Amino acid sequence: MSPSQLAVQNLDMRFGGLEALRDINLSLAPGERRAIIGPNGAGKTTLFNVISGALRPSRGRIYFSGVDVTRLAPDRRARLGLSRTFQMTNLFRTLSVRENVFLALAALTPRKFSMLRPLSSHGDIARAAEALLSDWGMLGLADRPVKSLSYGDQRQVELILALAGRPKLLLMDEPTAGLSPAETRRVVDTLHGLDKSITVLLIEHDLEVAFAIAERVTVLHLGSVVIEGTPAEIRRDSRVQEIYLGGPEA
């Protein structure tokens, strides 16, 4: 068995008296596409925040590429190759699309501390940003401030930033939330076209999107893992139907 790209072991997350996550175990093989589904309040985003380092768990361990990252700061995890998108669009709103991408690319080099030469003299990063925007068909918007972009284009920039650093693991928090069917299609196609070596962990409310992208699905409910399986197994499972459609007692 190959070592896992991401392993979460016996993870608890408590906020005072509230137990947001209880004894979570998760293991993703390199290149795996995994979706996490579950109703509102299941703890999906909390789990993402613990994996990415924004929150420190109350108990349990997180291994990334076999390294224990449980106590590492989020920026250290990012430099190890752990990338994420946010549920609410989280970009540099006053900066141009080009500057947003420049920041994502410069993050990987020591030149992010360079203060004595203007951006324009860092030609290699500027060219890489240009190439990336061209690949994504966003060159026409490159010099617009991000806040002036449509919501769909902003989600696209979010994805470009997350992928700019060639991560090993991509955490995506509801990438299709609020998108039109056509834009959702575009995101699904993008994820299908993604480099197969990138491991993807995805939170998704739209079950059809989750089942279309993921090879395996984990169902979270009230802070615990209910079941893990292939999309076909999840579809058939009576507990999942109960959670989503309401049990007999509901």
| Partner residues linked to 15 by β-bridges | 18
Residue 223, number of CB atoms within 10 A of its CB: 22
Q: Give burial (CB, 10 Å; 0-12/13-18/19+) of 242.
A: middle
In the complex with another protein, which residue's Cβ is closer, 8 or 78? 78
The answer to whether 178 and 208 are in contact (CB under 8 A) is no
For another protein, what does the binding mask look like between residues 33 and 52, x meaning CB under 8 A? -------------------x
Q: How far is the CB of 153 from another protein (least distance, A)?
A: 17
Exactly one of 31, 60, 74, 229 binds another protein (CB under 8 A); that residue is: 74
How many residues of this chain interact with another protein, rule: CB under 8 A? Answer: 40
Task: Verify binding: residue 103, another protein, rule CB under 8 A.
Answer: yes
**C-alpha to C-alpha distance for 212 and 208, rounded to whole angstroms:** 6
Q: Could you tell me the CA-to-CA distances from 225 to 191, 218, 219, 231, 247 in Å, in that order?
A: 25, 7, 6, 15, 18
Residue 161: strand, helix, or coil = helix
Task: Verify binding: residue 113, another protein, rule CB under 8 A.
Answer: yes
CA proximity to 100, closest of 88, 116, 110, 89: 89
In the complex with another protein, which residue's Cβ is closer, 4 or 52? 52
The answer to whether 167 and 107 are in contact (CB under 8 A) is no
Residues 146-165 binding another protein (CB under 8 A) are: 161-162, 165
Instruction: Tell me the window of 17-25, 26-34, 88-96, 198-206 that interacts with another protein (CB under 8 A).
Output: 88-96
Q: How far is the CB of 19 from another protein (least distance, A)?
A: 24
Task: Verify binding: residue 91, another protein, rule CB under 8 A.
Answer: yes
Residues 114-153 binding another protein (CB under 8 A) are: 114-120, 122, 125
Q: Which residues bind another protein (CB under 8 A)?
A: 52-54, 73-76, 78-79, 83-84, 86, 90-95, 99, 102-104, 106-108, 111-120, 122, 125, 161-162, 165
